Structure 1
Amino acid sequence: MNRPLLIALSTALLLAGCGGNDRGGQVSVSVIGRETRLRDPASRLPRQADAALLGAVAQGLVRLDAAAQVEPGLAIRWAISDDGLYYTFRLDHELADADRIAVQLRRLIRHYRNAAPGIRIDAVREIVAVTPEVIEIRLSAPRPELLALLARPAYALPAGGGTGPLLVDGSVGRHTVLRPKPVADAIDDERLKAFAKRRIHLRGERAALAVARFAQGDIQLVTGGGYNDFIYTRLAGVPPRNLQVDPANGLFGFRVGRASSPAMAPEIRQALSMALDRDALGAALGATGWRPAQAILPPGLTDVAAPSRPFWAQAFANVRGSDRQAFDSRVQTARRIVGIWRAQHGGDGPVRIAVAMPEGPGSAILFAAIRRQWWAIGVDATRVGPRDAADLRLIDEVAPADQADWYLAHFLCAEGRPCSEEADKAFDLARAATDPARRAHLIGEVEQRLAAIAPFIPIAQPLRWSLAAPDLTGFQLNARAVHPLAPLLGNQNGR
């Protein structure tokens, strides 16, 4: 095993100290990332640890529960018109101030109007305070993903926190303590009194230290893990029963990074994609729950019945022989494609590709495996930093909803080339459509046009993992890889 990784984990184990198992209603949580800060979401998009804190002490009209299902937040209930153009929210009367909330929500939507897909909310005509306790969002076209986006910490209201479901007990910093909101009549009910004493001890910290704390028994939950830090769970010898891998869908693979790249040629992108042994890449990472992907869209989306398979996957679907023989045929074909392209462009050496990936042990392991596979077809890949000029850039994002729009929006011309102007036009028409059947038809057209030009080299579904103590309540795996803190305290009935 890599010596620097062993040194890092050994140091982290020493820093973590000795643990104990008597929690007494105290739950310690580490979110992988930087030290937590309570930021106004209108000032910048909250990072992972900041989002966990913000989602605990502030909430939007709605929020996500432990299963990543939308549940009441500031709004105790809501209704959606039959045409999907009107969302009416009735606010909790204790927190009701529809005018103020409407102003703050409009501010956030404006702030994120140029943000990445999955953050920005468009098609909003008006946000109106109908009464002090009722707010209405009026759309120009249906947005089935609206509730899922409003439930994200980026749309927490008010920005300064204090609306719950939890409160900060003390100050925010390296170690932040969270407590339940005061419960009426707690003095007369022992269960309520016990619930009021429960606390969450939250840290945002680097992966090696978080995993070391868990291995020592100091904390009950580590969350926010990805492919880049999965190896620490193996180095620390974390038992399989503690390792929790979310069934998250999204994008994990490469898109073209610059117009001068050899990867702008569709045949080179096809060759690079067909040469990847995706199962072997997961094995190199030692990744539990690895789910290889060959196309932009995963199966099971609500608005595309059957995503298109890439051309090369269709071509090799009926190759006789074992899976190994089929893969070898793919590699041979990819090598011929690269050789023809090189001859046409006057090259006599390997095709050179610079690949931008984040720093970290997972990137080093993954890139080494990919480099070997691409070298076999005459491509020499070099790894560069995430901000350096590159031919290919890694995308690693979880989808906020089970709809094709989010995936396809990453490959519109506004996001970079290669792209299809015809796909852009169909996408715009789909997003403006009020008829569900027409919208579905247009989204299918977008998907087929993008599949034809293959702007993305998929690797797998995003890897998202947590470490959870066996007796931890309120933690559930889910497709969004979102794990809110409040459910970890249980409920007022002592559960």
Structure 2
Amino acid sequence: MKRLLAITLCLTLPLAGCGRGDREGQVSVSVIGRETKLRDPAGGTPRQADAALLGATAQGLVRLNAGAQIEPGLAIRWAISDDGLYYTFRLDHELADADRVVAQLRRLLRRQAAANPAAGLEAVREIIAVTPEVIELRLSAPRPELLALLAGPGFTLPIRGQGSGPLLIEGKVGRVTVLRPKPVAMLADDDKGRALAERRIRLRGERAALAVARFRQGELSLVTGGGYNDFIYARVADLPPRVIQIDPANGLFGFRVGRTSSPAMAPEIRQALSMALDRAALGAALGVPGWRPAQAILPPGLTDLAEPSRPFWAQAFANVRGSDQQAFLRRVATARRIVSIWQSQQPGSGPVRIEVAMPDGPGSTMIFAHVRRQWRAIGVDAVRVRATDGADLRLIDEVAPADQADWYLSWFLCARGRPCSEEADKAFGIARAATDPALRARMIAEAEQRLAAIAPFIPIAQPVRWSLARPDLPGFRLNPRAVHPLPPLIGNQNGR
């Protein structure tokens, strides 16, 4: 309580040098994280603020618009063959030539594939320049999510060491980076063109508490990049509810086994831990509007698996009579018996102890306090350790780049750690290599069912991603990817 009071006071104190908000045509944005730097995507996955800067100044073949839909980037148009094995892109010849883009793409593809072998990029077997303005990606098997991956910050393509737009950096990258539209010759004498040329975005990367304080004082039009761990700063800042924006993001938010010596390697222990979680109470502790609890690895409504399997325990308690609270108490009692039986079968074992690795931050502190209490009720002693320490369970907090089951299932392949299912791996491999859509769908469903049977993941909810947006801010839209590009904020959606 004392810490919460301190946070509240911090947020309500005036800031030195406060402005009176953005001038017309000037938009100030803070992305939660570290100070912004311009990084080569070939050197590693950019952090949030860096990704925002990259996405504004160095587009890829395609990019995401304000609604997270694919739109042209360096490629003015593209075509996908009926079998999904050939992607042909026609480049904007004023921005890039095919040979240079091909060389960059090959380099990025090698880095991305090495960093995440399960990302699906191994299916890209060849990238060639067909003409000076046309390139082609040739695949060994269909990858419906490929365009979404190419639109991400990891595939932005600086041209001749400089940005390709749609925005340019004015001055230097630093604590505050100023971005301006690229000149558009055809609009130079037009009132709209002159107004656009005068618009600027002032971009910061900074801590959540400071960003929220600036927004509350009227210095910012947008704060974005927030997650479960820092939502409390928005929650206690006494802001109008209409400015707090929660993305309908899907992905993974829960616990994965971190080491093979853990009691959580036992499927019955994982089942008991999942059964004992009061997910609604965790959401209430964070105070996140629209909290969406999850009991399974996959959310419903994916394009390739609309109805995923429910975990065994959820099916077993689905028809229990009584209130939700009564059903939950029965789940806890059952989980307690499961833990007691497992413990009695372990020679010389003491209390069941689970180390949980979570990032530093107030959100982690609140969630862990509730998780520890809930698991203590079934005879499990949870101990929190640092995110970099070895642990029995590790928190996963990732937004899915596409509505494909593949992305979710790839997290639980044997190559990424145990527990896993070799049968699920085999089915997944067949699905990813299949060119027949019916075979692919059947094998994806089999892989999902086999993973659901062993429950390698303890889900909590869908990932939390939040922003603060001024109500009259144009070009900001909530979306399932939690991506908020900068160019639309000054009406530069179509700038190239």
Structure 2 distance, partners of 1:487, 1:227, is: 26
One-letter identity of the residue aligned with 2:148: A
Q: Which residue of 2 aligns with 1:291?
A: 292
One-letter identity of the residue aligned with 1:373: Q
Q: Which residue of 1 aligns with 2:95?
A: 95
One-letter identity of the residue aligned with 2:20: G
Equivalent positions of 1:298-317 (< 5 A) are 298-317=299-318
Q: Which residue of 2 aligns with 1:145?
A: 145
User: Can you give the 5+ residue segments of structure 1 that lack an aligned partner in the other structure?
Assistant: none
Deviation readout 1:272-298 (Å, 9 max, x if unpaired): 000001000000111112100000000
Q: Which residue of 2 aligns with 1:10?
A: 10
Deviation readout 1:26-84 (Å, 9 max, x if unpaired): 00000000000001100111111100000000011000000000000000000000000
In structure 2, the CA distance between the partners of 1:117 and 1:196, relative to structure 1 (3 Å rule), is farther
Structure 2 distance, partners of 1:413, 1:64, is: 32
Equivalent positions of 1:205-284 (< 5 A) are 205-284=206-285
One-letter identity of the residue aligned with 2:330: S
Q: Are 2:291 and 1:327 equivalent residues in the alignment?
A: no
TM-score (norm 2): 0.97
In structure 2, the CA distance between the partners of 1:117 and 1:126, relative to structure 1 (3 Å rule), is closer
Structure 1 distance, partners of 2:138, 2:88, is: 9
Structure 2 distance, partners of 1:407, 1:161, is: 35
The percent of aligned pairs where both chains have the same amino acid is 77
Q: Which residue of 2 aligns with 1:112?
A: 112
One-letter identity of the residue aligned with 1:138: R
Structure 1 distance, partners of 2:68, 2:106, is: 24
Structure 2 distance, partners of 1:479, 1:11, is: 29
Q: Secondary structure at the match of 2:378?
A: coil
Deviation readout 1:282-334 (Å, 9 max, x if unpaired): 00111112100000000000111310000000000010111110000000000
TM-score (norm 1): 0.97
Shift of 1:93: 2.1
Equivalent positions of 1:443-482 (< 5 A) are 443-482=444-483
Equivalent pair of 2:65/2:493 in contact (CA under 8 Å): no
Structure 1 distance, partners of 2:294, 2:145, is: 23
Q: Secondary structure at the match of 2:173?
A: coil
Q: CA RMSD in A?
A: 1.7
One-letter identity of the residue aligned with 1:469: R
Q: Are 2:362 and 1:361 equivalent residues in the alignment?
A: yes
One-letter identity of the residue aligned with 1:366: I
Equivalent pair of 2:14/2:217 in contact (CA under 8 Å): no
In structure 2, the CA distance between the partners of 1:493 and 1:268, relative to structure 1 (3 Å rule), is closer
One-letter identity of the residue aligned with 1:427: F
Structure 2 distance, partners of 1:471, 1:119, is: 38
Structure 1 distance, partners of 2:286, 2:348, is: 34
Q: Which residue of 2 aligns with 1:78?
A: 78
Structure 2 distance, partners of 1:9, 1:288, is: 23
One-letter identity of the residue aligned with 2:62: V
Q: Which residue of 2 aligns with 1:61?
A: 61
Deviation readout 1:405-446 (Å, 9 max, x if unpaired): 000000000100000011111111111000010000000000
Equivalent pair of 1:28/1:202 in contact (CA under 8 Å): yes
Q: Secondary structure at the match of 1:424?
A: helix
Q: Secondary structure at the match of 1:113?
A: helix
Q: Which residue of 2 aligns with 1:414?
A: 415
Structure 1 distance, partners of 2:396, 2:130, is: 41
Equivalent pair of 2:87/2:137 in contact (CA under 8 Å): yes
Equivalent positions of 1:28-67 (< 5 A) are 28-67=28-67
One-letter identity of the residue aligned with 1:293: A
Equivalent positions of 1:127-138 (< 5 A) are 127-138=127-138
Equivalent pair of 1:17/1:216 in contact (CA under 8 Å): no
Shift of 1:9: 6.0
Equivalent pair of 1:112/1:120 in contact (CA under 8 Å): no
Structure 1 distance, partners of 2:230, 2:120, is: 28
Equivalent pair of 2:11/2:212 in contact (CA under 8 Å): no
Equivalent positions of 1:365-384 (< 5 A) are 365-384=366-385
Equivalent positions of 1:166-205 (< 5 A) are 166-205=167-206
Equivalent pair of 2:120/2:143 in contact (CA under 8 Å): no
Q: Secondary structure at the match of 2:43?
A: coil
One-letter identity of the residue aligned with 2:371: I
User: Can you give the 5+ residue segments of structure 2 that lack an aligned partner in the other structure?
Assistant: none
One-letter identity of the residue aligned with 1:363: S
One-letter identity of the residue aligned with 1:48: Q
Q: Secondary structure at the match of 2:339?
A: helix
Deviation readout 1:126-173 (Å, 9 max, x if unpaired): 111001110100001000000000000110012644200100011001
Equivalent pair of 1:127/1:135 in contact (CA under 8 Å): yes
In structure 2, the CA distance between the partners of 1:119 and 1:33, relative to structure 1 (3 Å rule), is farther
One-letter identity of the residue aligned with 1:20: R
Structure 2 distance, partners of 1:359, 1:450, is: 30
Q: Secondary structure at the match of 1:441?
A: helix
